[in-house]
């Protein structure tokens, strides 16, 4: 079953501060991802892989075409969904692991990770327990879990971000460089977590610069070509 597909998706940016110059990034993207499948986006730097990911999450507004996500038994078009439906789709269905953690002042690491579960109605204690388990699995020691992640190293913040992204087990997951800046031990844990997500039936789209990680988890590649070359 297809959980995520795009139809003729295009995206360009109009830079009003630079005299209205228009930069085309994506054109006629047709991507489809089934339950239990991991598709890796391939293409040179600057081809638009991250732009595509952000469109899929609704973080960037699609310029044209449709982005259909299977949500609550029906297809929702991310390109046109109103903000409140979008928030609901993100809460229940569509998860995104970005490269950088957006730190919230004073909120402990455990609570940062537990938040997506609490938003879904899981009790605070239960959510915190599950957050602690996942953080421990990602080698964030218990003594750090009660601190806000603001002072953590880049690699530690990345792992906190991963825990936050994986804890809610979204049916559709977008992974932007999930193994970047991780040591081999933690990379192996993340690969294991992606494999588990696939086996529970998640549809995954990822950007992996780390070829070994990509080969370990991806079922196929989707090539994103820079527009100038494609034309």
Partner 1 sequence: MDETLLSGRGLSLDFGRIQALDGVNIDLWPGEVLAIVGESGSGKSTLLNVLSGRMHPDAGTVWYRGPDGHLADVHGMPEPALRRLLRSDWGFVHQNPRDGLRMTVSAGGNVGERLMAAGARHYGNIREQAAAWLKRVEIDPSRMDDLPRTFSGGMQQRLQIARTLVTHPRLVFMDEPTGGLDVSVQARLLDLIRALVAELRIAVALVTHDIAVARLLAHRIAVMRRGVVVETGLTDQVLDDPQHPYTQLLVASVLQA
Question: 80-103 burial, b for 16+ CB within 10 Å, e for fewer?
Answer: ebeeebbeebbeebbbbbbbebeb
Question: 128-165 burial, b for 16+ CB within 10 Å, e for fewer?
Answer: bebbbebbeebebeeebbeebbeebeeebbbbbbbbbb
Distance CA 62, CA 78 (A): 8
Binding window for partner 1 (CB under 8 A); candidates: 25-33, 59-67, 157-165, 208-216: 59-67
Binding window for partner 1 (CB under 8 A); candidates: 2-10, 14-22, 158-166, 199-207: 14-22
Which of residues 1, 22, 74, 105 is near partner 1 by CB under 8 A? 105
Binding window for partner 1 (CB under 8 A); candidates: 81-89, 156-164, 169-177, 189-197: 81-89
Binding window for partner 1 (CB under 8 A); candidates: 55-63, 66-74, 170-178, 222-230: 55-63
Rg for the chain, CA atoms, rounded: 18
Query: CA–CA distance from 99 to each of 47, 112, 172, 177 (Å)?
Result: 18, 16, 18, 6
Which lies closer to partner 1 via its Cβ, residue 51 or residue 186?
51
> Is residue 22 close enough to count as binding partner 1 by CB under 8 A?
no
| Residue where the block lists tokens 């957050």 | 131
> Is residue 42 close enough to count as binding partner 1 by CB under 8 A?
no
In the complex, the smallest distance separating the C-beta of residue 27 from partner 1, rounded to whole angstroms, is: 17
Which lies closer to partner 1 via its Cβ, residue 61 or residue 209?
61
In the complex, the smallest distance separating the C-beta of residue 102 from partner 1, rounded to whole angstroms, is: 8
Cβ-contact 166, 178 below 8 angstroms: no
Distance CA 229, CA 231 (A): 5
> Is residue 149 close enough to count as binding partner 1 by CB under 8 A?
no
> Is residue 54 close enough to count as binding partner 1 by CB under 8 A?
yes
| Residue where the block lists tokens 């919230």 | 104
Contact residues toward partner 1 (CB under 8 A) are 13-17, 54, 58-61, 83-84, 86-87, 104-107
């Amino acid at each position: 079953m297809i959980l995520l597909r795009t139809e003729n998706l295009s995206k360009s940016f109009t830079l009003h501060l630079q005299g209205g110059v228009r930069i085309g990034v994506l054109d006629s993207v047709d991507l489809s991802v089934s339950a239990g499948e991991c598709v890796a986006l391939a293409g040179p730097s600057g081809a638009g892989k991250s732009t595509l990911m952000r469109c899929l999450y609704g973080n960037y507004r699609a310029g044209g075409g449709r982005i259909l996500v299977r949500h609550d038994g029906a297809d929702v078009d991310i390109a046109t969904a109103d903000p409140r439906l979008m928030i609901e789709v993100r809460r229940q269905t569509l998860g995104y692991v970005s490269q950088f953690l957006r730190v919230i002042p004073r909120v402990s690491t455990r609570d940062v990770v537990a938040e997506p579960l609490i938003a879904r109605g899981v009790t605070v204690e239960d959510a915190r327990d599950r957050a602690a388990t996942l953080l421990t699995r990602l080698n964030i020691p218990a003594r750090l879990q009660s601190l806000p992640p603001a002072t953590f190293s880049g690699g530690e913040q990345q792992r906190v971000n991963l825990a936050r992204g994986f804890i809610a087990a979204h049916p559709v997951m977008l992974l932007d460089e999930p193994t970047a800046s991780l040591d081999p031990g933690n990379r192996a844990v993340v690969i294991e977590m992606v494999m588990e997500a696939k086996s529970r039936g998640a549809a995954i789209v990822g950007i992996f610069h780390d070829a070994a990680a990509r080969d370990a988890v991806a079922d196929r590649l989707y090539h994103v070509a820079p527009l100038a070359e494609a034309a």
